Amino acid sequence: MGKTAIITGGGRGIGRAITLALAERRTNVILSYLTRRDSCESTATDVRALGCEALVVQADVTQRESVRQLISTATEKFGKIDVLVNNAGILRQKAFNTISDEEWDTMLATNLKSVFLCSQEIIAVMVRQGGGSIINISSSGGQLGGILAVHYAASKAGVISLTRSLARVGAPDGIRVNCVTPGLIETEMSQKEIHSEVGQQKISREIPLRRAGLASEVAGAVAFLASEEAAYITGQSINVNGGLYMG
């Protein structure tokens, strides 16, 4: 049996591309979703066409018991979890002075607390099985900041810092923890922005490669970090952003 990976929010956009990239490398996958089962089932069908197994599980990754059930279901099916990709997240743009307490809490719960919960629960499994790889999806927004999504930027910056801490926690047990930080990537959610006049100006002025990225390019970085080729890499943030942020 090949490797097994959990991808949170693995049905659409970057998550779907990550799922397929791992499947192309002979990895069985567990896709979690909160409300959009249809997209996960569609992605799972494509995974099976590649010759790998796919399991679709509903989970609220902001709730510990739901995360525990996700991991329990995955381990019962496959016996081990080699890779966890913390991909689930939201982006809601709002002026800073209009962000409510509830909106702040929801953003940080979805984008940051979920990474904490999933990682804490999976590390216990990975310790027992002798190692594993955790890959967190952050954003260039967490590096650059942003006036239209301050709560989003804060949550994604937290993911980068949490990655570094978890890399130190997991290293003695052979657990690697890394982060991928995408910039402006072409997905269903970003199409309106990318093809607007403001979006085109942003691309030409702020991105040295002068184009938006592809979800498959983000997925390629994740697949590399999950592979044995990256066995000596931990605590790192890999920027996939066309030069938008060079840090």
Q: Any idea which residues carry the catalytic annotation?
A: 152
Residue 174's SS3 state is coil
**Residue 132 vs residues 41, 182, 185, 243: alpha-carbon distances, Å:** 26, 23, 28, 30
Helix (H) or strand (E) holding 175: strand 175-182
Residue 26's SS3 state is coil
Q: Is the dihedral of CA 240, 241, 242, 247 positive or negative?
A: negative
| Phi/psi of residue 104, nearest 5 degrees | -60, -50
**Amino acid at residue number 223:** A
- Return d(Cα 239, Cα 246) in angstroms, integer: 8
- CA-atom Rg of the chain in angstroms: 17
Listing DSSP states for 90-157 in one string gives ------GGG--HHHHHHHHIIIIIHHHHHHHHHHHHHHHHT-EEEEEE--THHHH--TT-HHHHHHHH
